[in-house]
Each structure stands twice: as C-alpha cells, then as structure tokens.
Chain A
C-alpha cells in the first residue's frame, strides 16, 4: 500500500514515520529540502522536494498509485486545496487533511472532506480536563 504525506513538519514527519513503520510505502513531499532531516537518518522511503500544489511534483511523488494521503503543511488553505485536488483529480479514496481553523474544518467536513482539527481536539480536551478535575460551579453563580 502506498501513502503520500504532504508537508514534513512535526506532524507530517511523525505521520510518515508511523505509516512506514506499519509497512506502508511512503513518499513525503515538502518545499524545504532540510525537512528531510525530520524523518531521521534511517529514512529509506521516498522524499520529493516541491510544492504540493504543483501537479508535476505530486506526479513524481507517485500520486497516481497512492492509496492514501495525509495533507499537513502549515497552511490551512493550502491543505484544503491540495486535499480536494487529491480527492477529485487523482481519486485517492483516503485523503486526510489537517485544518487548524475549526470553522473551515467543519465547513469542508460537511462537504465530504476528512478533516482533522487539532485546535478543536485541544479545546475539547481542555474542557474535559477542567470538568473532570475541578468542582463544578453551581448554575446560579
């Protein structure tokens, strides 16, 4: 099984390493050549330098054979557009897109995109932790 990871920051590189460890054939795309270092010295899978909006870059990264893709660059709108291109143009069945803004994440989720919103996750976790550990205020106060 082949996976494409667009964006090799803290999140993208860790996802790529995780998938590779599970036996996926992974190709990572990042604009910055130095990002390769995040994958560690033992990285034996693919790495393509270029922008994920560039179809020649996607094609040299093997987008045509990809079974899954994770889009996690540092730009929400870049991720949203690349995610749709991977879904609609290249017909990859599993496309997961990181979107930091909860409102846009929800908007595109309602339109069939698998979005992951770390901000929303953090909000929920913080609220849950406060609820679980602090005494609750009474309704009247």
Chain B
C-alpha cells in the first residue's frame, strides 16, 4: 500500500516507522527545517520537506498516483482539514484519516465530510468514562453516519427506571432499549420488561439525546 503521512511530529514519525516496518511504501512530509533534518537522518529519502497544504508539495509526494491512504496528522486542525480535502476531492484518494487536535474542531471535520478522524482528547475522555462505572452510562460505539450511539447503562436502586416497564420510561424519540443483562443472562427488552436494580441495559440513542436518555433511566447526574 502507498501512504502519504503529512506532519512529522510524534504521531507522524511513529506511524511512518510502523508502516515502513509493515512493508508499506510511505512518504512523510514535514515543513519545519530542524524536525525535517532529524527525520531525514532516521528515514532517509522517505521524508520530503515542505508544506503539505501546498498542492505542488503534495504532487511531489505522489498524491496523483494516488496513494491508498493519506494521514493528515499535523498539529494544526485547519491544515489537516485542507490536506484531507485536497487529497479526497482533488485527487480521488480513497481514504484520508485526519487528526483533530482541538475537540471543538471536530464539528468542522464532520460538516466538511472528513468522516475519519482521530482525537486524542476525545479518546482519553471516552476511556475515562469507561473506567468510571458511577458515571452510569458508557458509550460503547459511535455510529457517525447514522447519528447514533450504542450505550450501556446500569440501573441502580434509586434510578427512576427501577421497577418500571420499559414501555413507560418516557425515553427520548429515536432511542430504544435492546437488551438487559441480569443474573448472568441476556434478555431482549420488550415494552413489558420491568427494569430492576443491577440490570445492565444495552441501548441505542440518537447523538444529541444522551442527557435526556440518562435522565429518564438514571435521573439527574450526580
């Protein structure tokens, strides 16, 4: 596979090393002279000096072949967005993965159709949520295109849902309880299923409705 990596910081240089070790053909583009010199010492002619948001630099890197994959992993979100757009829209690169440095910029990537993004801050926050069971709700999977989340919630003794039927919980529109895990067994949820303390519930929730969903099942967050 041919891959262009834009940005030779910690992320870009380590990804380049791994891809090369896996036997892929890689070009790494780095703009800063001192960083370029360090990278060239390690990687040799694999590294190209230049601004990867400039079309002639991308062309020297072989964007017109086109590569199977472009990784836009500079420390600048605007640059990563433009590199991804140039690659996908300008040269028909089938896949571009962009790094999001500031999670507040995620919405811009979504808006502009750069669907494959990686954000360290968001990933770490997701792991934190995973590690905090008292948080009550774990995001298991995000279906970006569908705008849905697959979540797991744990019903507690004091939860508004405890003792109620699934059909009468007043859940937000578009959300659905799929299954409960109780006493070592998984059951599909019917409208008549009564929620019990200790139930681990698997559910589908529209992206924006998580707070409302959480309130209906678990009450106000502590």
Contacts and interface: CB of A to CB of B under 8 A. Distances in A.
Nearest to A89: B111
B120 to A, nearest CB: 18
Given A103-B54, A103-B56, A81 B81 contact: yes
B107 interface: yes
B160 to A, nearest CB: 32
Interface in B43-95: 53-56, 76-79, 81-82, 86, 89-90
Interface in A50-89: 53-55, 75-78, 80-81, 84-85, 88-89
A81 B82 contact: yes
B111 A111 contact: no
| A-side interface mostly | helix
Interface residues of B, number: 19
B7 to A, nearest CB: 13
Contact of B82 (A55, A89, A104): A104
Contact of B108 (A81, A103, A107, A111): A81
A101 interface: yes
Contacts of B108: 53, 81, 84-85
Given A53-B77, A78-B78, A81-B81, A104 B104 contact: no
Given A77-B53, A80-B78, A103-B56, A88 B86 contact: no
Interface in A81-110: 81, 84-85, 88-89, 101, 103-104, 107
Interface of B: 53-56, 76-79, 81-82, 86, 89-90, 104-105, 107-108, 111-112
Given A103-B54, A107-B55, A111-B89, A53 B78 contact: yes
Given A53-B77, A53-B108, A107-B55, 17 more contacts: A53-B104, A54-B104, A55-B107, A75-B78, A76-B53, A77-B78, A77-B82, A81-B78, A81-B81, A81-B82, A81-B108, A81-B112, A84-B108, A84-B111, A85-B111, A89-B111, A103-B56
Task: State which size class the interface on A falls in.
Answer: 10 to 19
Contacts of B54: 101, 103-104
Interface of A: 53-55, 75-78, 80-81, 84-85, 88-89, 101, 103-104, 107, 111
Nearest to B78: A77
A103 B55 contact: yes
A105 B132 CA distance: 48
Contacts of B76: 77
Contacts of B104: 53-55
A76 B89 CA distance: 18
Given A54-B104, A104-B55, A111-B89, A88 B111 contact: yes
Contacts of A85: 108, 111
B77 A80 contact: no
B76, B78, B90, B104: residue with the most chain A Cβ atoms closer than 10 Å = B78
A101 B82 CA distance: 13
20 contacts: A53-B77, A53-B78, A53-B108, A75-B78, A77-B78, A77-B79, A77-B82, A80-B82, A81-B108, A84-B111, A84-B112, A85-B108, A85-B111, A88-B112, A103-B54, A104-B53, A104-B55, A104-B82, A107-B86, A107-B90
Nearest to A81: B78
A82 to B, nearest CB: 8
A96 B20 CA distance: 42
